[in-house]
Amino acid sequence: MGLVVQLSYFVASVLFILGLKAMSSPVTARKGVMWAGVGMVLAVLATFAHPKVGMDNLILMLIALGIGGAFAWYTALKVQMTEMPQMVAVYNGLGGGAAGGIAAVALLQGASSEGSVAASLGAEATTLGLIGAAIGSVAFAGSMIAWAKLDERLKRSTLTANHQQWNIGLAIATVVLALWVFNAGSGLPILLFFAAALALGVFVTVPIGGADMPVVISLLNALTGLAVGFKGFLLGNPALIIAGTVVGAAGMLLTYLMAKAMNRSLVHILFSGFSAAPAAAEAETEGEMKEVGTADGAYMMGYSDRVIIVPGYGLAVAQAQHKLWEMVELLQRLDVDVKFAIHPVAGRMPGHMNVLLAEAGVPYDMIFDMDEINEEFEDTDTVLIIGANDVVNPAAREDESSPIYGMPILNVDHADQVLVVKRGRGSGFSGVENKLFFRDNTRMVFGDAQKVVAEMVQTVKGM
């Protein structure tokens, strides 16, 4: 039976890798999700058949599987596209929490035996358990903070006095307590160790906001993967080792690429406190916002040769992606060349806008990344921006005092005319005023994107 279990874990690991590979392309992403799902089912079934699983454990496993499965099924059916980043943050956090929980049980069992934890579990197992526990706890606490900020239950960017000193102090305390746990024979240092690691996750994540949030979610996902990988070594489970390592490596690579796309180092993202400066929302602007009606906006696009659409989180909030695609199809019938431009950190999680457009049926060959399309704005008649803000703010290019200065943006201001659909006159998620809205070639259409685009559709139909 042991050989069958190990072979099942191996096959599950292969399915995880193939699934992740398939997810790299929207064309095969659905297939990749299915492969990874089959691999997870196989891994769970193999665990039930593990020789070490007794009847008492089997009952607890069935209860846990029932509760978790029912919760996941219900939330997956009910979640709105606007709440998808929050769900990703929560599920990612639960993965880190599970890894930390496994380590806690193992360490407490070691502490209950005679001698130190290291003597009971072995030095190597204890070290791996402590590393995985620390990473998993930070990922869990950080993900919960990310969820609270994305769900607007917590202020977006909050810096306490001497914040970085607190971070350094908590990091040192976590390491010191880990050394104590290694040589301890009681549960108290273990509890203090987890408390310090959880507090570190909270303090590191609280200051982060604005366009940095997708990067942080990707990093937390990578940390969860690494924590799971360490737990695989602790339990001798090859499926956890391979799956955790693959997720950790992929998450780290994605984090690096997104940080590079923003021209910001990961250290700066984690420890600078994006948009924490009080003057961030007080950027100097020239000119005034010029408002037009939905009909005027529709005519601007209908009589253009080339239109580029830039979606943002506001499109997801209004759930206007289906109406937007309807309008695009109408514009194409008028021989308008339409493309979509996606910034690497648009939305609230990696790939948020790609998922949104795919849901509406937008063909993948119409969607272009920033590097692919930035040079085309100069030859574009009209740019339509729906709900995007920081990723199109010229201040990132022109204002050295701006918190987002140096972040690569979509060069929408280089187009002949810019049309911005926005709910109100407020600043974006980072709290930085957008200079684009005051440019001579920019026109504003205020209102809910769903209603605005629906009215534009009716106008285009009559052209």
Structure token digits, residue 380: 């574009």
Return the closest-CA partner of residue 89 out of 246, 221, 215: 221
Which listed residue (56, 390, 440, 448) is catalytic?
390
Beta strands in 134-186 (DSSP E): none
Distance of CA 216 to the CA centre of its chain: 7
**Residue written as token pair 């995007």:** 388
CA dist., res. 192 & res. 200, Å (int): 12
E strands, 250-335, where?
A: 306-311
Which among 106, 111, 109, 104 has a CA at the least distance from the CA of 186?
Answer: 111
User: What DSSP character marks residue 438?
Assistant: G
Give the integer Cα–Cα distance in Å for 408 and 394. Answer: 10
Active site residue 305: no
373 backbone dihedrals φ, ψ, rounded to 5°: -120, -10
- Chain centroid to Cα 16, Å, comes to 20
Return the DSSP state at 439.
S
Strand partners, 420: 385, 444
Helix (H, G, I), strand (E, B) or coil at 342: strand
> In angstroms, rounded to a whole number, what is the distance separating the alpha carbons of residues 269 and 271?
6
Distance CA 310, CA 339 (A): 9
Burial (CB count within 10 angstroms: exposed 0-12, middle 13-18, buried 19+), residue 2: exposed
Coil, strand or helix at 417:
strand
Residues carrying an active site annotation: 390
